[in-house]
Structure 1
Amino acid sequence: MIERIWSGQSPLWLLLLPLSWLYGLVTALIRLSYRLGLRNSWRAPVPVVVVGNLTAGGNGKTPVVIWLVEQLQRAGIQVGVVSRGYGGKVASYPLVLDTRTTTAQAGDEPVLIFQRTGAPVAVAPQRSAAVQALLAASPLQIIITDDGLQHYALARDKEIVVVDGERRFGNGWWLPAGPMRERAGRLKSVDAVIVNGGVPRAGEIAMRLAPGQAVNLKTAAICPVADLEHVVAIAGIGHPPRFFATLESCGLHPEKTVALADHHAPQKAELTALLAPGQSLLMTEKDAVKCRAFADENWWYLPVEAHLSSPEGEELLSQLRALVR
């Protein structure tokens, strides 16, 4: 239903417009307060790069963060990542992740980034506190924030926005009548726009998500995803149809697909109940970090990697490398 409202297919978005105007007014006043100096932004002693969205829901932001981290690491740059840690909860913040940190503490996306890249990661509602905790623990040269485009309390040197190239901006309205956190005009003030799928527009950087091989949660065995049989596919991400379409493009036709809420933390009984005898469970890597501790041997996940078009992607990396003195 929410997709129909945000796309404009359902007229119910008209009923929500007054709340959207209020949302837009509040967000505009917050941003203006920082521009006028009524509120102060904290500036880190190292460059800060924000990777964020203009819309709610999954746009492919976390794969972009992982790609940037890995590319900077290959250039010999010490990079750290900070996040709000949505879906996680601890007694006190900031929390610097280690191998014992769970998704219940830090949220699924920070744990995924930490496990995939090995980069120092910290979470806190106040991003500046997370940055300071990272800098106190590691000699970092640059910080990437996973989300936080609208978190103006943290000064930034570069802003990167990730856009879903298929859905774009729906009906274009602020939450809750539409999917927008900020209106599309905000793109004029950011440093780079990365478009995940679809057809990029002038000045935008094309990106695609390339699937790898299926990985077994229990044994770490790998195999081509098309070789899996009798599959039930689940996805607890912002836009589950993208994951299911990826499976189809790989030649896998699941016997059943189940869309879970974004950041949903499933229990083992909930997932085993989805399977009939002889079926296997296939999920996203974001789901896998929440399920690995109790996985069965017929549970698999499919990692994906961001691939940015060249030379635009290389130019963006060149700009980020130039920030490091």
Structure 2
Amino acid sequence: MVELNAALLAKPVRRNRLAAFVEQRWYSRPGWLWLLCPFEYLFRGIAYYRKKILTQRQTTSPLPVIVVGNISVGGTGKTPVIIALAQYLRDNGFKPGVISRGYGRTTTTLHCVGPSSTAANAGDEPLEIYQATRLPVIVSADRRQAVQYLAESGDCTIVLADDGLQHYTLPRALEIVVLDGDKMFGNGHCMPVGPLREPVSRLGSVDEVLVRGGNRSLLGASVFQFLTVGLTNVKSGEKKPLNFLCSLPPFYAVAGIGNPQKFYTSLNEVGQLHCAVEKPLRYTACSFPDHYTYSEHDFTFANHSPIVMTAKDAVKCQAFAQDNWWCLNIQADLPEPMLGRLLEKIRKVTTDVI
């Protein structure tokens, strides 16, 4: 059984009360947010006409683009899905590249992510994707410019767009939506009453819907899970098996992602599977805002205790990581029937197969 070590001083969650209240209402009954219903109708109307106008501005893409996005605010697990899809496409004879806006970076120009890139100039998720795949990853606010760059490089035959489902000026051959199986559509309302960027009916026009875990299903959707596969030292890159986690003294679990509870659940599952009953995992959960920009001063609370964090957090902490900082490696386990259907659809939209 995994225990939370209450004896350790917990790091307060860095979220303001208004954001916490709104999120609580988004994933339960709207409550006072009902007063914002007129703004929801306005939002829906703007989203409808925006899609209609921007779609008309689409031009021909030099490469087929697969958009992987969501219809709600917050993390749904897109980054591990992008990584899994990129590796699958490479294994099946394609030359995939990835484009992303690079949320949270401090620069605005087009950037080709490479070994010397940092989260500051590439964004945390694009850097995570590059380090996991070593494939071409291009960051640009203008996604069409990023696609053109990949096409001119000659090293790419198909493009995966990280997010961008609502970026309707970007031509796309296929659309994949990723949902959180626990949160799903929240209270079912669009912003600001609920978490949806577009109505649920939008799913009827996409090619594939992936639901990550959870207890709720959706007709026509494919369910996938995250697999926890090991640990990597944030500073040295050393790899360790999962049972290494059981040998750690009380540690801090750090998550700066859209849904940090998913990370803590993964830790608990590792403890239940790999740790002895008499020596359970002992950790203090430390949640930071999604895409948080870390500095070494943010970790003074740990007082040299071990830290275990997500891969998305690790890419932002490599420059000042200590020897006992570890990253929990998680992979998206995509269902074979969905991959088979997707591959068939991709072969129909491209002839650039090696």
Short-chain TM bin: over 0.9
Q: Deviations over 1:194-240 (max 9, x none)?
A: 00012432211111011111111122223323333311101011100
Q: Is the 8 A contact 1:83 1:147 kept in 2?
A: yes
For residues 52 and 235 of structure 2, what CA distance do their matches in structure 1 show?
50
Q: Deviations over 1:153-190 (max 9, x none)?
A: 01100000001111100011112221100010000000
Moved more, 305-314 or 262-271: 305-314
| Whole-angstrom CA distance in 1 between matches of 2:77 and 2:201 | 20
Letter paired with 2:113: L
Matched residue, 1:229: 249
Residue 140 in 1 paired to residue 156 in 2? yes
Shift of 1:9: 4.0
Q: For residues 179 and 292 of structure 2, what CA distance do their matches in structure 1 show?
A: 23
Q: How far apart are the structure 2 equivalents of 1:309 and 1:122?
A: 27
- Report what 1:243 is aligned to: 263
Match of 2:194 in 1: 178
CA distance in 2, matches of 1:322, 1:72: 14
Report the equivalent of 1:285.
311
Distance 1:113 1:168 in 2: 25
> By how many angstroms is 1:193 displaced?
0.2
Which amino acid in the other structure matches residue 175 of structure 1? M
Letter in 2 for 1:81: V
Q: Tell me by how many angstroms 1:254 deviates.
A: 4.1
> How far apart are residue 89 of structure 1 and its match?
2.6
Letter in 1 for 2:253: A
Q: Which of 199, 213, 216 is matched with 1:197 structurally? A: 213
229-238 vs 20-29, greater mean Cα deviation: 20-29
Q: What residue in structure 1 maps to residue 37 of structure 2?
A: 17
Match of 1:50 in 2: 67
Structure 2 letter corresponding to 1:289: V
Contact 1:83 1:123 in 2 (8 A): yes
- 1:31 matched residue in structure 2: 51
Confirm whether residue 115 of structure 1 aligns to residue 143 of structure 2.
Answer: no
For the residues of structure 1 that align with 2:249 and 2:344, how far apart are their CA atoms?
43
Structure 1 residue 207 corresponds to structure 2 residue 220: no
Aligned residue type for 1:210:
L
Query: Once the two structures are aligned, what percentage of the paired residues are identical?
Result: 37
Residue type of the alignment partner of 2:78: K
Distance in 2, Cα, partners of 1:82 & 1:117: 13
Quote the residue 2:14 is aligned against: none
* SS of match in other structure, 2:266: helix
What's the offset of the Cα at 1:307?
0.5
Partner of 1:324: 350
1:7 aligned onto 2:27: yes
CA contact under 8 A between 2:119 and 2:315: conserved in structure 1? yes
- Which residue of structure 2 lines up, in the alignment, with residue 258 of structure 1? 286
Instruction: Give 1:130's aligned residue.
Output: 146
Unaligned runs of 5+ in 2: 1-19, 272-279
Partner of 1:293: helix, strand, or coil?
A: coil
User: Which has the larger displacement, 40-49 or 103-112?
Assistant: 40-49
State the AA in 2 paired with 1:219.
S
Aligned counterpart, 1:217:
234
Q: CA RMSD in A?
A: 1.6
Q: How many angstroms does 1:270 deviate by?
A: 0.7
Aligned residue number for residue 301 of structure 2: 274
| 2:286 partner SS | strand
Decide whether the 8 Å contact of 1:20 with 1:174 is kept in 2: yes
Secondary structure in 2 aligned to 1:93? coil
**Post-superposition offset of 1:10:** 5.5
- In the aligned structure 1, how far is the partner of 2:291 from the partner of 2:207? 28
Q: Secondary structure at the match of 1:229?
A: coil
- Mark the CA change 1:293 to 1:138 in structure 2 (over 3 Å): closer, same or farther: farther
The answer to whether the Cα contact below 8 Å between 1:216 and 1:300 also exists between their aligned partners in 2 is: yes
Report which structure shows greater RCO (CA 8 Å, sep ≥6): 2
State yes or no: 1:149 paired with 2:161.
no
Count of residue pairs the alignment pairs up: 319
Aligned to 2:276: none
Task: Indicate which of 295, 312, 322 corresponds to 2:321.
Answer: 295
Q: Which amino acid aligns with 1:241?
A: Q
